[in-house]
Amino acid sequence: MDYLRRTLVALLIASMGLAISGMPSMAKNLKVAAVFPGSITDQAGMQNSYEGLMKAKKTLKVETAYSEKVPQADQLEAMSDYARRGYDLVIGGGGEFIAAAKRVVERYPDTFVVVINGAPTEGVVTLNYNNQQFGYVLGLAAGRTTKTGKAGVVAAQPLKVVLDGIEGFKKGFEKGHPGGEVIVAYTNDFDDVAKAMEATLNQIAQGVDVVFPYLDNGIVGVMKAAKEKGVKAVAVWADLSKSWPEENLLSTVVDFGEYLVYTIETAMNGKLERRDYRMGIGTKMGYLSDFNPAVPADVKAEILQVIEDLKSGKLRL
């Protein structure tokens, strides 16, 4: 009888722990919805995330839905609508969704709200990278190859993910070119090509010869300016070596598509927790593109060694 009581108590504790930290197994009929602030054909973060959602639909057989080009003022309503309709996971496609995500969690506590690049927030699943690592590698490449000693960053908003990446970039650039200068500009728009191009041309006029876009569709404006003025670029959200092979020195790909597949599969197995997840460089979800031929062999070797040192913990930022 004592054994039976102990067993029942153990099972009760285990079930309570699951309810607190994870979600029940949903191998069948999992419903996943995503709300994207930009276009799913932006050749950057939105497209990558959308492709991951579609991959999960195909390989994991989950039911999916999505909305794109949702302005910040409408994000709460869009996410709430999916929660009302019984979607198990509701995904916000950027750090600007955190405020809306907090309110959705309060209204629909049974829904797992996921935010890509979101600041760690109680009750919300946030999917992040060690952005300083990615920025550092790109900054090192820029620093080792610059001729003017000046690099430029063109971003939309000073979100935490962006600030962390820029901080890492500055450290890497200083390592690669001691005493160099990093000029930062914000356009207040992730997708506006004209604004991004104007900001980049302004930086190039100040002597910048390597640019680092932290944008979605606005990347196109940065790369057009780079091409027009004959300067190089590094990138973090997409592999620009495919679309801009001449201009792109190096890309560190943060593959949120694979990250979403991993998250959805974790949910299906009943192991998803309402916490911050964080991936480092040198993983399936965060990796290097091909090097531009303009990058010297010794610089390539140095960058690859730095990645190994970051993975092992030998190098800490």
CATH number of residue 186's parent domain: 3.40.50.2300
Q: How far apart are CA 151 and CA 81, in angstroms?
A: 43
Same-domain status, 240 and 98: no
Q: What's the number of domains the chain is made of?
A: 2
Beta-bridged to residue 35, according to DSSP, are 67, 92
Domain carrying residue 157: 131-255+285-312
Residue 274 in any domain: the answer is yes
* pLDDT, tens digit, 9 for 90 and up, residues 17-66: 433 345 544 545 899 999 999 999 987 788 999 999 999 999 999 999 99
Same-domain status, 244 and 178: yes
Same-domain status, 220 and 263: no
- DSSP output for 239-296: -HHHHSTTTEEEEEEE-HHHHHHHHHHHHHTT---SSEEEE-SSBTTEEE-PPPTTS-
Same-domain status, 194 and 164: yes
- Does position 265 have pLDDT exceeding 70, yes or no? yes
Same-domain status, 265 and 228: no
**Amino acid 261: pLDDT:** 97
Same-domain status, 292 and 156: yes
* pLDDT, tens digit, 9 for 90 and up, residues 285-299: 999 988 999 999 999
Look up the pTM and report it: 0.77
**Amino acid 52: pLDDT:** 96
Same-domain status, 150 and 249: yes
**Amino acid 28: pLDDT:** 55
**Amino acid 217: pLDDT:** 87
Residue 185 in any domain: the answer is yes
Residues 210 and 234 sit within 8 Å (Cβ to Cβ): yes
* pLDDT, tens digit, 9 for 90 and up, residues 68-122: 999 999 999 999 999 999 999 999 999 899 999 999 999 999 999 999 989 899 9
Residue 298 in any domain: the answer is yes
**Amino acid 8: pLDDT:** 39
- Does position 284 have pLDDT exceeding 50, yes or no? yes
Q: Which H or E run includes 215? A: none
Same-domain status, 172 and 200: yes
Q: How far is CA 21 from CA 4, 18, 101, 125, in A?
A: 26, 5, 18, 11
Same-domain status, 192 and 293: yes
Instruction: Quote the mean pLDDT of the chain.
Output: 91
Band of pLDDT at residue 9, cut at 50, 70 and 90:
very low
Direct distance between the N- and C-terminal alpha carbons of the chain, in angstroms, rounded to an integer: 56
Beta-bridged to residue 153, according to DSSP, are 184, 212
Band of pLDDT at residue 159, cut at 50, 70 and 90:
confident
